Chains A and B, each alone.
Chain A
Amino acid sequence: MATAMPVSFEVNGKQVTVEVEPRMTLVDCLRYQLRLTGTHVGCEHGVCGACTILVDGEAVRACLMLAVQAEGCKVITIEGLSNDEALTPLQASFRRHHAVQCGFCTPGMITTAHALLSEEPDCDADRVREVLSGNICRCTGYISIVEAVLDARSAYRKPETLP
């Protein structure tokens, strides 16, 4: 049973086709088959948030999605957020606020915050805390992470039209 099946989807703007067993989660497919190891695997059962990626623009836990379910989807991983060596405003804000210690949770924090700010660039600190409550960080105590996300909001706001 359970022979490998072909799955085609878009990752960071590139169309890919992989052969996966149905039991393979999307995060394992990204890491082991596509060598996109920026997405981390923590708990493997959907409580830590380290594996958060964007699927069709929405933040999802890649350990709770099967690779075969990604057929036809647009996937963006942490690697896809910055197009080149330069840091995005959100990444720069994490650096500025020392919102990174060991770095294990960081890709999940950034993808989650990116999804939030893309939709709600005017969110307040309570909303940031609520959304990040699904991402576990064992180093920072979260305060610097929340500050970094709040500070990056301006980069996500549409430029105001001058009168």
Chain B
Amino acid sequence: MKLPAFDYACPATLAEAVALLASRDEAKALAGGQSLVPMMAFRVASPSLLVDLRKLSELRQITIDTSCVRLGAMVRWRDIEDDARLVVAHPLLKAAVSHVAHYQVRNRGTVGGSIAHADPAAEMPGIAVTCDAEIAVVGAAGSRIIRADDFFIAPLVTALAADEIVVEVRLPTWPAQRRWGFREFSRRRGDFAMAAAAVFYDVDAAGQAHNAHIGAIGVGDRPVRLTAAEAEVNGNIVDATISERAGAAASAAVDPQSDIHASSAYRKSLIGTMVERALQDASAVKAA
């Protein structure tokens, strides 16, 4: 249906945007609008004021330095897709983002918008949690860094205060030899994941895995690391048996909700398969 009425502002500076958000109850930042506008069309969200961030070009940069890959909040899926540096600098991010939404949405949807929206079935929050990302935010009280693990609280609920804006997502540097895999299952390409797994680990000289990170998307009220599955991987050479064991541990570790798209039992089984296949991909992949 048509959107509920709201006021609109399009500030030229971040400071102005923060002041506008703080000026009014129920004010909301507008990034790409690809989640917020549908929510308003469903009247699930009725902000009093939309603060459009589109003029804040400083939030559109992808910066790769020695400590991390920095994604500005207004970086679009399209920008990640087009950035050839990320094939080496963060292949897991690139693979995950290839599953985000459809062509037209990818031209407007943003990293910061997805993070702030916090859909439990969305890829970007899942990658942030899996990769120990730091989320930089700015608000009326100043700036702060929130660890991804502390940021996502419940479906569509985050640690962000009402006057805070996500400005940057920082993913720690990706070693060239790191093994990784990303698997997602949805009925139609671009739709939300019924379940998805993001995995990576490092390999020592003897071929044994360590530093395993296994993240699950779409099987809980927020993206989570599956430490029981990681424990199956660490210290072992990842092969079909280890992948299967980790998949079984992943299934056992989650308690997904049933909804119109899939039952709880189906999702529980599916995440095991996704983790198993992602680990098989990881063990097969030579460094990018």
A23/B78 contact (C-beta < 8 A), A65-B33, A134-B190 known: no
Segment of A54-62, A79-87, A144-152 engaged in the interface with chain B: A54-62
Cross-chain contact A134 with B104 (CB below 8 angstroms): yes
Interface residues of A in 107-147 (CB under 8 A from B): 112, 115-116, 130-134
Cross-chain contact A60 with B102 (CB below 8 angstroms): no
Q: Which residue of A lies closest to B101 (CB)?
A: A134
Cross-chain contact A133 with B5 (CB below 8 angstroms): no
Q: Taking the complex as formed, is B38 at the interface, i.e. its CB lies under 8 A from any CB of chain A? A: yes
Q: What is the CA–CA distance of A25 and B50 in the complex, to the nearest angstrom?
A: 14
Q: State which of B5, B54, B78, B103 has its C-beta within 8 Å of the C-beta of A69.
A: B54
Segment of A10-18, A45-53, A88-96, A155-163 engaged in the interface with chain B: A45-53
Cross-chain contact B52 with A52 (CB below 8 angstroms): no
Interface string of A20-61 (1 = CB under 8 A from B): 011111001000000000000000111001001000001111
Give 5 closest A-B pairs by Cβ, nearest first: A134-B102, A22-B8, A45-B38, A2-B5, A23-B3
Q: State which of B1, B7, B189 has its C-beta within 8 Å of the C-beta of A130.
A: B189
Q: State which of A23, A52, A68 has its C-beta within 8 Å of the C-beta of B5.
A: A23
Interface string of B18-43 (1 = CB under 8 A from A): 00000000000000011001100110
Report A33 CB to chain B, min CB distance, Å: 14
Q: Which residue of A lies closest to B36 (CB)?
A: A64
Cross-chain contact A66 with B78 (CB below 8 angstroms): no
Q: State which of B7, B8, B34, B188 has its C-beta within 8 Å of the C-beta of A46.
A: B34
Cross-chain contact A61 with B41 (CB below 8 angstroms): no
Report B33 CB to chain A, min CB distance, Å: 6
Q: What is the CA–CA distance of A132 and B4 in the complex, to the nearest angstrom?
A: 30
Q: Which residue of A lies closest to B42 (CB)?
A: A45
Report A147 CB to chain B, min CB distance, Å: 19
Q: Taking the complex as formed, is B86 at the interface, i.e. its CB lies under 8 A from any CB of chain A? A: no
Contact residues on B (Cβ < 8 Å of other chain), bracket: 20 to 34
Cross-chain contact A5 with B8 (CB below 8 angstroms): yes
Cross-chain contact A112 with B3 (CB below 8 angstroms): no
Report A39 CB to chain B, min CB distance, Å: 13
Q: State which of B5, B50, B105 has its C-beta within 8 Å of the C-beta of A134.
A: B105
Q: Which residue of A lies closest to B76 (CB)?
A: A58
Cross-chain contact A68 with B8 (CB below 8 angstroms): yes
Q: Taking the complex as formed, is B210 at the interface, i.e. its CB lies under 8 A from any CB of chain A? A: no
Report A144 CB to chain B, min CB distance, Å: 19
Report B122 CB to chain A, min CB distance, Å: 14
Q: Which residue of A lies closest to B39 (CB)?
A: A45
* Residue in A5, A45, A134 whose Cβ sees the most chain B Cβ within 10 Å: A134
CB neighbours of A102 from chain B (8 A)? none
Offer 18 A-B interface pairs, CB within 8 angstroms, sorted by A. Answer: A1-B5, A1-B48, A2-B6, A5-B8, A22-B5, A22-B6, A22-B7, A22-B8, A25-B3, A25-B37, A44-B2, A49-B102, A60-B107, A60-B108, A64-B108, A130-B189, A134-B103, A134-B190
